[in-house]
Chains A and B, each alone.
Chain A
């Protein structure tokens, strides 16, 4: 394979830290079971992504294994926050790496690796959403697993938080995938609009507009949902106290 000129490491943009769950993918929490050589390559700060691509193209398997180790958590979490299901997010991440491997020859060393790779992940995730759009109306299966078992002695705060996470997913699912992709990348993964724009192949102004619109829409749905939940809880409390009719009776009255 042809060798490409090495860019100045200082000029190559570094990947964003991402959410706490994805953070540390390149340092402390590399997956277990990897060989020492792969771990060393993945954790070496002086070996940038471009160098790993170069070595992979030269036939070094460990270099690609290190690249996967560096980015698999970011790939999985970003896919998970867009598609909302563990199995599908894992498939998206896996497919993204397969496509990356097959197209390493096309990698432009002048551009940042993570922008290129995130684009592959986001495209696959959005394609997945389009495919299932008509197939599923509403699913919070994986987020329901975030809810702790009520039989376990856990604090009410944890229960509330888990419930809130499930509600966030309910809201996210209602938002257009294009807007969802931007607010997930900005508000969860911490990418700036300047970083998001090339990933989604849109202009910086479009990224900002989608972020603006996405936050507005999210807030509207969120307020409505929280209001509905609070209202339902209040009715339940009143029904249990015997002061007012219960939820069912109240609900039927509204109609």
Chain B
């Protein structure tokens, strides 16, 4: 028995790579695919070993296709009618809110509740209320209330609604360096209830952020 031709063996190996697609006519419908299919057919004519290989692949594929035609017990027209009804009862015939109830399941609600509690606990732990920079805790600015505003106007009295309590009259105590004081709306105007002014310690000290001359000016104004 003569030794197999190495070039022939290389060709067989190359063919083996093509066969799985060749048996299903999947080498491609373009020119290159057609050329590869023609080459495989030519090779198979003269190679019994590769023909066996191709035959095994075709047998396996045939069994798969045969399997696809089999119908299990219980799968008949009645089965599909039942499936149709099931689908419609879950979709177009579902009671209003049914789909929403499905989406917001008990599990999801529990998860959301747990996440909310965690966030609340985390926020409670992070925010230290005792050191918060409350507007009412901050020492008031005591400036000359009769001094003109940077824009030239005057507003000794400001009507405002505090965040708690009834409507009261608040008095503008002044500005710092001709501009706004502090940060944000709470810092622009340092307002105090008129009745509270007597109890504020900074009234006597002249405020933490302003000088004594300004405090004197405010006292004269009142």
B66 with A186: CB separation less than 8 A: no
- Of all chain A residues, the one with the shortest Cβ separation from B59 is A222
CA distance A211 to B22 in the complex (A): 11
Q: What count of chain B residues pass the 8 Å CB interface test?
A: 39
Inside 8 A of B91's CB, which chain A residues have their CB?
Answer: 64, 97-98, 101
Q: Is B24 in contact with A65, judged by CB distance below 8 angstroms?
A: no
Q: In the complex, what residue of chain B is closest to A220 when comparing beta carbons? A: B60
Q: Which residues of A contact B61 (CB under 8 A)?
A: 187, 215, 218
> Which chain A residues (59-101) contact chain B, with CB distance < 8 Å?
61, 64-65, 68-69, 72-73, 76-77, 80-81, 86, 90, 93-94, 97-98, 101
Chain A residues positioned under 8 Å from B81 (CB to CB): 31-34
Contact call A162/B84, Cβ cutoff below 8 A: no
**Inter-chain contact B73/A188, CB cutoff 8 Å:** no
Partner of A208, one of B26, B69, B78, B85: B26
- Check if A230 is an interface residue, CB within 8 A of chain B: no
Q: Is A113 an interface residue (CB 8 A)?
A: no
- A162–B70 CB distance below 8 A: yes
| Chain A contact residue count (CB 8 A cutoff) | 57
Knowing A31-B80, A142-B72, the reply to whether A211 touches B90 (Cβ < 8 A) is no
User: Does A228 make an interface contact (CB < 8 A)?
Assistant: no
Structural contact, B60 and A69, CB atoms closer than 8 A:
no
Of the 9-residue stretches A121-129, A164-172, A242-250, which lies at the interface with chain B? A164-172
Residues of A within 8 A of B78 (CB): 32
Partner of B69, one of A21, A65, A183, A223: A21
A97 and B91 alpha carbons, distance in the complex (Å): 8
The answer to the question of A54 belonging to the interface, with a C-beta cut-off of 8 Å to chain B, is no
**Given A101, A145, A219, which contacts B72 in the complex, CB threshold below 8 Å?**
A145
Does A29 count as interface, using CB distance less than 8 angstroms?
yes
Q: Which residues of B contact A33 (CB under 8 A)?
A: 81, 84-85
- CA gap between A181 and B81 in the complex, in Å: 26
CA distance A34 to B83 in the complex (A): 12
Alpha-carbon distance between A73 and B65 when the two chains are bound, in angstroms: 17
- Chain B nearest CB from A157 CB (Å) reads 12
User: Which residues of the other chain, B, contact A235 by a CB distance below 8 angstroms?
Assistant: none
Contact of A106 with B by CB under 8 A: no
Q: How many Å from the CB of A102 to the closest CB on chain B? A: 7
For residues 73 through 89 of chain B, which have their beta carbon under 8 Å from a beta carbon of chain A? 73-75, 77-81, 83-88
Could you tell me the distance between the alpha carbons of A18 and B179 in the complex, rounded to whole angstroms? 79
The yes or no answer to B21 lying at the interface (CB within 8 A) is yes
Q: A21-B69, A169-B67, A216-B20 are in contact. Are A65 and B84 (CB under 8 A)?
A: yes
CB pair A31 B77 closer than 8 Å: yes
| Residues of B close to A143: CB separation below 8 A | 72
Interface membership of B64, Cβ < 8 A = yes
Verify A219–B60 contact, CB threshold 8 A.
yes
A169 to B66, CA, bound (A): 11
Are B92 and A64 in contact (CB-based, < 8 A)?
yes
Q: Does A73 contact B90, Cβ atoms closer than 8 Å? A: no
Report Cα–Cα, A65/B79, bound state, in Å.
Answer: 16
* B residues 11-33 touching A (CB-CB < 8 Å): 20-21, 23-24, 26
A193 interface residue per 8 A CB criterion: yes
Would you give the shortest CB distance from B220 to chain A, in whole angstroms?
70
Residues in B with CB closer than 8 Å to A5 are none
Give 1 or 0 for each of B83-107: 1 = CB within 8 Å of chain A CB.
Answer: 1111110111100000100000000
- For A214, the closest partner residue in chain B by CB is B20
Which residues of the other chain, B, contact A31 by a CB distance below 8 angstroms?
A: 77, 80-81, 83-84
A212 cross-chain contacts in B, Cβ below 8 A: 20-21
Shortest distance between the CB of A225 and any CB in chain B (Å):
10
A198 at the interface (CB under 8 A from B): no
Contact A101 B92, CB 8 Å, known A86-B74, A142-B72, A145-B72: yes
Closest 9 A/B residue pairs (Cβ): A188-B68, A168-B67, A215-B20, A101-B91, A31-B80, A19-B68, A219-B60, A31-B81, A222-B60
Q: Chain A residues in contact with chain B, CB under 8 A? A: 19-21, 29, 31-34, 61, 64-65, 68-69, 72-73, 76-77, 80-81, 86, 90, 93-94, 97-98, 101-102, 142-143, 145-146, 161-162, 164-165, 167-169, 172, 183-184, 186-189, 192-193, 208, 211-213, 215-216, 218-219, 222-223
**Could you list some 5 contacts between A and B, CB below 8 A?**
A33-B84, A64-B91, A65-B92, A143-B72, A146-B70
